[in-house]
């Protein structure tokens, strides 16, 4: 493939955009420790950007980044830019990258709709697929499958943090890695905890689900509400907020130092 620099630009701007979004989410998660009304999920973060001075311009720039990140994830999955291969593990990772591409494409579309550049949609494509799956195999089994997926994703994040496997994809100096390691480890564990709690909430859905009772898939707001019910919830929310901000820092580190492997593509 000739002239691959545009792919690298897409990837790096995408990681930076992810960092911006998680910075906002982490900030409001931290505030939720003191004010429950401050809970935000990903879409709320995008709405928050729109409400700022020059919000339309800021959101427009972020949309470019979201589209770039979605295209990079798609490229990672289809072209196997990170050389995961066709083993069972490799295919699972590439499918996860494909889902990530669809998720960020959906966020980009949502942002475009907030700017009235595209028609608003009553539901996401993911939600449509989930509803179809519910119709085929039932609410309980869909909840169980999704719960298992989120728990596996949570475990993968925590494993990646504790084994420092993220460093394999970074090309930074030893001096920079001294700072990157604690940021990446804390951020990945925090994101893993979010996925783990979503998995737990989905297991709760599985235990009580019936064909007549179809709950929505839990979001970050549901995670924060669940944590609010725990002892020392303020401390936990504040710590999670800091962790999410650190994940944003890890995203910015990827924007600068991530290896964009295109030599064999």
Residue 49 lies in a domain: yes
Residue 262 lies in a domain: no
Residue 264 lies in a domain: no
Q: How far is CA 230 from CA 46, 88, 170, 224, in A?
A: 28, 38, 37, 10
Residue 263 lies in a domain: no
Contact predicate 147/199, CB 8 Å: yes
Residue 124 lies in a domain: yes
What pLDDT shows up at residue 151? 92
Residue 151 lies in a domain: yes
Residue 95 lies in a domain: yes
- Paired tokens of 4: 């691959």
Give the total number of structural domains in the chain.
1
Residue 54 lies in a domain: yes
Q: What is the pTM of this model?
A: 0.85
- Tell me the pLDDT tens digit for each residue of 31-72: 888 876 666 677 778 888 888 888 888 889 999 999 999 999
The residues, any chain, with a CB within 8 Å of residue 181's CB and separated by 6 or more, are 164, 167
Which residues of the chain have a pLDDT value below 70? 1-3, 36-40, 121-139, 209-217, 263-265
Containing structural domain, residue 35: 5-257
């Amino acid at each position: 493939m000739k002239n691959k620099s545009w792919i690298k630009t897409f990837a790096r701007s995408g990681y930076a955009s992810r960092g911006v979004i998680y910075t906002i989410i982490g900030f409001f998660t931290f505030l939720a420790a003191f004010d429950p009304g401050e809970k935000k999920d990903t879409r709320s973060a995008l709405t928050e950007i729109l409400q700022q001075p020059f919000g339309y311009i800021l959101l427009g720039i972020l949309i470019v980044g979201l589209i770039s990140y979605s295209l990079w994830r798609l490229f990672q999955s289809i072209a196997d830019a990170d050389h995961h291969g066709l083993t069972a593990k490799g295919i699972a990772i590439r499918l996860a990258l494909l889902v990530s591409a669809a998720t960020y494409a959906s966020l980009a579309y949502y942002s475009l709709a907030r700017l009235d550049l595209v028609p608003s949609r009553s539901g996401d494509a993911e939600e449509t697929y989930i509803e179809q799956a519910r119709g085929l195999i039932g609410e309980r089994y869909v909840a169980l499958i999704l719960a298992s997926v989120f728990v596996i994703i949570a475990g993968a994040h925590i494993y990646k943090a504790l084994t420092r496997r993220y460093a394999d994809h970074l090309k930074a100096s030893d001096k920079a890695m001294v700072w990157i390691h604690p940021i990446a480890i804390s951020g990945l564990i925090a994101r893993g905890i979010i996925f783990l709690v979503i998995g737990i909430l989905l297991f709760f859905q599985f235990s009580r689900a019936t064909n007549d009772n179809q709950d929505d898939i839990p979001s970050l707001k549901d995670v924060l509400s669940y944590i609010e019910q725990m002892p020392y919830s303020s401390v936990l929310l504040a710590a999670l907020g800091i962790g999410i901000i650190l994940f944003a820092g890890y995203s910015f580190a990827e924007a600068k130092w991530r290896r964009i492997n295109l030599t064999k593509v």
